[in-house]
Amino acid sequence: MTSIEVRPEQDSDREAVFRINERAFGGPDEARLVDRLRTQADPMISLVAESDGQPAGHILFTPVAIEDSSKPGQVPAMGLAPMAVDPQFQRQGIGSQLVRAGLDVCLGIDRPVVFVLGHPEYYPRFGFRPAAPLGLHFQDHSFDHAFMVAELKPGALQGRRGWVRYLPAFEEV
């Protein structure tokens, strides 16, 4: 039986992580984004999934800010992006293990709010729900159908509403 292990990325994984993102997305844009984010993100959660010891998937979480002018301070939030599973390893549950492990780490570092812009059919199984009905939006309303949020602790959003800003690296994609 295939063994899947999810673990923190190490320096020696850089090349494999680049290739996984490049192959999964069919081009280097997201792979380059990952490298740019390494210089901007703090904290950064970067996990690698190994299939029988071979790097097969990668997931990244970086800080985001909710611009809510009606309330002072910030709730500690992260954005899940990008996530990639090498096409030869897709549909074996690796992506799901990466998401679940990543959400556990977010909770563990006290970042109980996580956003994702992604496939609306895929992420609800991990606790994500549409963000727009809560008054939370990414860039402009054309993204509302795919923009989701997970509260890893009940009430973690504390009623925050507004635009959700990712790190500048995302604007260069």
Q: Which residues bind ligand COA (CB under 6 A)?
A: 24-25, 82-85, 90-96, 118-119, 121-122
Do residues 136 and 146 touch, judged by C-beta distance below 8 A? no
Q: Which is nearer to ligand COA, 74 or 92 (CB)?
A: 92
Ramachandran angles phi, psi of 62, nearest 5°: -130, 160
Which of these, 81, 78, 129, lies nearest to 108 by C-alpha position?
Answer: 78
DSSP E strand stretches across 23-95: 45-51, 54-67, 77-85
Smallest distance, Å, CB 24 to ligand COA? Answer: 4
DSSP one-letter code for 66? E
Q: Which is nearer to ligand COA, 32 or 161 (CB)?
A: 32
Q: Which is nearer to ligand COA, 12 or 91 (CB)?
A: 91
Smallest distance, Å, CB 112 to ligand COA? Answer: 21
Smallest distance, Å, CB 130 to ligand COA? Answer: 15
Ramachandran angles phi, psi of 29, nearest 5°: -60, -50
Smallest distance, Å, CB 78 to ligand COA? Answer: 15
Q: Which is nearer to ligand COA, 63 or 128 (CB)?
A: 128
CA distance linking residue 13 with residue 155, whole number of Å: 36
* Chain residue whose CB lies nearest ligand COA: 95
Smallest distance, Å, CB 79 to ligand COA? Answer: 11
Q: Which is nearer to ligand COA, 119 or 153 (CB)?
A: 119
* End-to-end Cα distance, the chain: 38
Structure tokens at 54: 């071979």
